[in-house]
Structure formats: structure tokens, C-alpha cells
């Protein structure tokens, strides 16, 4: 009996340690391309991940962006996002990991699942399902908190992650004010039409307010609201493009 009690207490101590580690981090680094995908920001997963952690109060950078000196001189001040895929014939499975500078898993999401047939929809739904593990995860300056629902990591993991680049060119950002677009509700979001009328973009709902997975026929990205204005953000030639939109809902 004492032996089983010791094992239980040991497991609890590992869980507490894994969660307490996470509160020491303000910065999160998101890769511009997840390892199991072929393209930068494919299906909009990278920009969606960045927006999610920013919503939680963290300062988030893409790994191709210029990072501040505070992280460049001490890479152990940032956590690195890794997304793992384990798909079956009919189910998309994604697990989100936050790793420290030594490659150790600090916190780990549950396995997000989706049975959607269309790749973009399935990957986004599975990622949103994984995000639910972090519903209570927040960073408030000087007082970060961590959700108790996060799956504790195995402290003996030997996985390694590539070092964060200390200096990379800043991603290009452009702002374009286009004609007014009108949002028409569809089953899972909106379609944006111009005055023609012609459909110019689709917006798919996410678990975050004022943040949509989007496609304009040429690029996949996200549409989100920042400082009262709407922006369409996507990658082009490895540069992050941010286009300002006028939307009437």
C-alpha cells in the first residue's frame, strides 16, 4: 500500500513541476512551417497558433522574425511550439507541445481530433480541439497562470528541438485598404462579397473571438481584429503579409 501511495505522490509531484515550469515564460516561438507539412503556414495553422497564444497574453514571434535581444542572448527565456501529427485513415490527430531551450517538453496538449474529410478543415478543427487543453492558460505581466487541464509532460523526455535563430530578417508587412466587403453568414462562418456582388473571401469560425481561418482564392491565412480594424494575414515568399480590410457584418 505504501509503495502505491509513493508512486501516486511521485506522479503528482511531476505534474506540479511541469505546470510550475510554464509560469516562468513570457515568450513563445512559433515555427513558420510545422515539420509534417510541406509549405509555410500550410492550412493557416501557424498564424492560428500565434494568434491563439497572443490571445492568452504571451509575446509570440515566428522563428523567421527578428527576435528581441532579451531572447537572442538567452534563448531559455522562450518556449518553442511543436505540433505533432498522428493520423489514422479517418481521423486527423494533432498534439501541441511547448518545449524549452533544451528540447524538454514543458507542457503538452491533449490529442486534438477531427473526422472532417477536407484537409484544411480537418487540420484546423483538430488544432482547435488541441487548444482546448489551454483554455485556462494565461500570461499576465508579473502573474502568469497555467491551466490545470494541461497534460503534464514526461520530465525524462530526450527529444531535441532546433535552436531558435538569433537574427533573422523582419517579415515584410504591408497594409492595404480595399473596397468595402460585406459579410454573409454561412453554416461555419461567413463569405465576404464586394459590390459586384462577387465572393472574394471565406471566413471559417475558430474558438477565438474575432479570429477566422480565411482563404481569398490565392492564399490561406487568418482574418483577425486588431485595435478595432480587420486584417488578413498570410505568408507570401516566406514573408508575413498583413492586409487591412474594410468589413461590414
How do the pLDDT tens digits run along the chain, 249 residues long?
444 444 434 443 333 334 434 446 889 999 999 999 999 999 999 999 999 888 888 889 998 877 888 888 888 889 999 999 988 888 999 999 999 888 988 888 999 999 988 888 999 999 999 998 888 777 765 544 444 334 444 444 444 444 444 444 444 555 555 688 888 888 888 888 887 778 888 888 887 888 999 888 788 889 988 888 898 888 887 788 888 898 888
At 36, list the grid cell: 509534417
Q: Report the number of distinct structural domains present in the chain.
A: 2
Which residues, in sequence order, are CB contacts of 132 under 8 Å at separation 6+? Answer: 110, 112, 149, 207
Same domain flag for 132 and 225: no
CA dist list (Å): 178 to 207, 239, 245, 246, 247 = 27, 21, 6, 7, 10
Residue 78 lies in a domain: yes
**Residue range(s) defining the domain that contains residue 210:** 180-248
Residue 87 lies in a domain: yes
Classify each residue of 31-59 as buried b or exposed e, where b means 16 or more C-beta atoms within 10 Å of its C-beta.
bbbbeebeebbbbbbbbbbbbbbbbbebb
**CATH number of the CATH domain containing 35:** 3.40.50
Q: Is residue 157 a contact partner of residue 105, using CB atoms and an 8 Å limit?
A: yes
**CB atoms inside a 10 Å sphere around CB 101:** 17
At 34, list the grid cell: 510545422
Amino acid at each position: 500500500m505504501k509503495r502505491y501511495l509513493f508512486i501516486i505522490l511521485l506522479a503528482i509531484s511531476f505534474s506540479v513541476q511541469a505546470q510550475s515550469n510554464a509560469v516562468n515564460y513570457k515568450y513563445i516561438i512559433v515555427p513558420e512551417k510545422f515539420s509534417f507539412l510541406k509549405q509555410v503556414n500550410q492550412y493557416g495553422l501557424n498564424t492560428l497558433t500565434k494568434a491563439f497564444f497572443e490571445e492568452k497574453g504571451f509575446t509570440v514571434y515566428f522563428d523567421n522574425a527578428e527576435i528581441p535581444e532579451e531572447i537572442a542572448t538567452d534563448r531559455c527565456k522562450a518556449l518553442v511550439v511543436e505540433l505533432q501529427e498522428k493520423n489514422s485513415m479517418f481521423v486527423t490527430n494533432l498534439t501541441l507541445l511547448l518545449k524549452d531551450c533544451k528540447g524538454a517538453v514543458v507542457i503538452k496538449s491533449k490529442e486534438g481530433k477531427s473526422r472532417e474529410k477536407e484537409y484544411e478543415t480537418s487540420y484546423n478543427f483538430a488544432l482547435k480541439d488541441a487548444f482546448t487543453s489551454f483554455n485556462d492558460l494565461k500570461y499576465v505581466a508579473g502573474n502568469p497562470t497555467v491551466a490545470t487541464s494541461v497534460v503534464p509532460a514526461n520530465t525524462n523526455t530526450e527529444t531535441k528541438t532546433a535552436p531558435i535563430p538569433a537574427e533573422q530578417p523582419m517579415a515584410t508587412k504591408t497594409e492595404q485598404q480595399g473596397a468595402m466587403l460585406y459579410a454573409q453568414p454561412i453554416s461555419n462562418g461567413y463569405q465576404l462579397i464586394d459590390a459586384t456582388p462577387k465572393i472574394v473571401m471565406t471566413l471559417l469560425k475558430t474558438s477565438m473571438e474575432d479570429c477566422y481561418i480565411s482563404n481569398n482564392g490565392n492564399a490561406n491565412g487568418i482574418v483577425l481584429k486588431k485595435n478595432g480594424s480587420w486584417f488578413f494575414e498570410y505568408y507570401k515568399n516566406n514573408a508575413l503579409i498583413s492586409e487591412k480590410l474594410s468589413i461590414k457584418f
